[in-house]
């Protein structure tokens, strides 16, 4: 168990080392870069309040450029902090704002947070998109009267009640949008941009209504017509807003994995799945795009044969690591000694450029990403050319089993 725990920490350690290496090469331009350290015993509301006070103090900075850069960094920190309900058990360190790399390029250290309001005649959904993570903040349904009643009351009264219900519905939606997207500490929006979407005229009415907060109206990037409401409409709105949120990771994932699925659907043969087959295709230089799940739980072992002193490479998941037979050569009745061990993803990150391919690290947050991780073991690739089955030889089934067992 201790060995397995160490394996998990090795992957996290690699991510941390990469982050530290990136941060060490970046310098803040003035006070545009913020480092926020939160003690494990601290409370998120207290930190949020403190950032609100700092935002107010920053408004006193005389130089406009400095003032704007500081306030933008604080706003980013507040948006990121909203993703945490409680401080993690080992504390929280947040780097936010805009820094300058050694190449003189600006680099942002947080994903922008985008807000979505999906509204139609059946209800409203309010959600957020940050990087590859989408979250439904709240949703509620509504029962509105149709244009024609069933009798029992005058047409004038029915029309008045219908208009009143629509008005109350829009007011509730506007109030909830303000509650979700306006930071009470700073009285400013906590999102970079806002997308309004719906299948009826409610989205336009909400946008033009005097009940809709003007601070949020100024953040609207696009108003979309969609075919669905609720969660399905939320997913469709993310897809259709790609032209204004071009840098959101989930959209890039959908395109990459969509291309992978397209190769499979057309049966072009220009794809590979499974650990061993993917690694073999990589070593042959046949992979154009290597796709790996960010939480791939497979380790790469370098094993030394106790008799021949030859090196054997194996890719094992946790279940296979617990099987002693994977560390023996049954044919020669000899042991295989562990010479080296590291996470497969870590190894791929360090070596993929040697094989002339691009590496796409994906999440399981999108529908396509989840299907890739669950159905294909979280590792595969798009090939430059078709390979015949003989190119992989034996052991392909073991690699796919390792991938499938790791889910």
| HEC sequence for the chain | CHHHHHHHHHHHHHHHHHHHHHHHCCEEEEEEEEEEEECCCCCHHHHHHHHHHHHHHHCCCCCHHHHHHHHHHHHHHHHHHCCCCCCCCCCEEEEEEEEECCCCCEEECCCCEEEEEEEECCEEEEEEEECCEEEEEEEEECCCCCCCCCCCCCHHHHHHHHHHHHHHHHHHHHHHHHHHHEECCCCEECCCEEEEEECCCHHHHHHHCCCCCHHHHCCEEEEEECCCCHHHHHHHHHHHCCCCCCCCHHHHHHHHHHHHHHHHHCCCCCEEECHHHHHHHHHCCCEEEEEEECCCCCEEEEEEECCCCCEEEEEECHHHHCCHHHHEECCCCEEEEEEEEEEHHHHHHHHHHHHCCEEEEECCCCHHHHHHHHHHCCEEEEECCCCCHHHCCCCHHHHHHHHHHCC
207 half-sphere exposure, CB direction, 13 A CA radius: 22
d(CA 176, CA 188): 15
Residues (pLDDT < 50) of the chain are: 1-11, 394-407
pTM of the model: 0.50
pLDDT of res. 337: 87
Residue of 164, 176, 270 whose CA lies nearest to 216: 176
pLDDT of res. 236: 92
Buried-state track 258-282, b at ≥16 Cβ within 10 A, e below 16:
eebbebeeeeeebbbbbbbbbbbbb
pLDDT of res. 104: 56
Gap between the terminal Cα atoms of the chain: 19
pLDDT of res. 41: 84
């Amino acid at each position: 168990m201790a060995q397995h725990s160490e394996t998990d920490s090795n992957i996290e350690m690699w991510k941390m080392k990469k982050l530290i290496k990136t941060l060490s090469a970046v310098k803040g331009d003035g006070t545009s870069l913020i480092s926020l350290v939160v003690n494990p015993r601290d409370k998120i509301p207290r930190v949020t309040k403190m950032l609100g006070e700092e935002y107010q103090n920053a408004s006193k900075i005389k130089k406009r450029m400095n003032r704007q850069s500081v306030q933008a960094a604080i706003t980013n920190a507040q948006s990121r902090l909203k993703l945490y309900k409680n401080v993690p058990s080992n504390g929280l360190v947040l780097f936010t704002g805009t820094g300058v790399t050694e190449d003189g390029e600006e680099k942002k250290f947080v994903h922008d947070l985008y807000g979505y309001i999906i509204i139609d005649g059946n209800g409203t959904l309010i959600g957020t998109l940050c990087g590859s993570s989408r979250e439904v903040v709240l949703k509620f349904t509504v029962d509105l009267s149709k244009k024609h009643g069933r009798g029992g009351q005058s047409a004038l009264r029915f029309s008045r009640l219908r208009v009143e219900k629509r008005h109350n519905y829009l007011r509730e939606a506007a109030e909830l949008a303000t509650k979700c997207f306006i930071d009470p500490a700073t009285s400013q929006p906590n999102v970079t941009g806002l997308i309004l979407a719906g299948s009826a005229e409610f989205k336009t009415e909400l946008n033009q209504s005097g009940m809709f907060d003007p601070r949020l109206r100024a953040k609207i990037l696009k108003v979309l017509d969609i075919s669905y409401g609720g969660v399905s409409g939320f997913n469709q709105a993310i897809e259709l807003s790609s032209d204004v949120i071009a840098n959101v990771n989930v959209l890039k994932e959908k395109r990459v994995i969509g291309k992978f699925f397209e190769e499979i659907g057309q049966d072009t043969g220009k794809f590979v799945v499974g650990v061993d087959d993917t690694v073999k295709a990589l070593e042959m230089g046949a992979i154009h795009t290597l796709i790996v799940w960010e939480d791939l739980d497979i380790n790469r072992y370098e094993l030394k044969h106790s008799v021949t002193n030859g090196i054997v490479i194996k890719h094992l998941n946790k279940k296979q690591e617990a099987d002693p037979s994977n560390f023996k050569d049954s044919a020669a009745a000899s042991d295989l000694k562990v010479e080296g061990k590291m996470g497969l993803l870590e190894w791929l990150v360090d070596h993929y450029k040697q094989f002339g391919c691009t590496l796409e690290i994906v999440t399981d947050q999108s529908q396509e990403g989840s299907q890739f991780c669950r159905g294909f073991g979280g590792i595969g690739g798009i090939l430059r050319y078709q390979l015949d089955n003989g190119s992989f030889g034996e052991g392909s089934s073991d690699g796919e089993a390792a991938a499938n067992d790791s889910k």
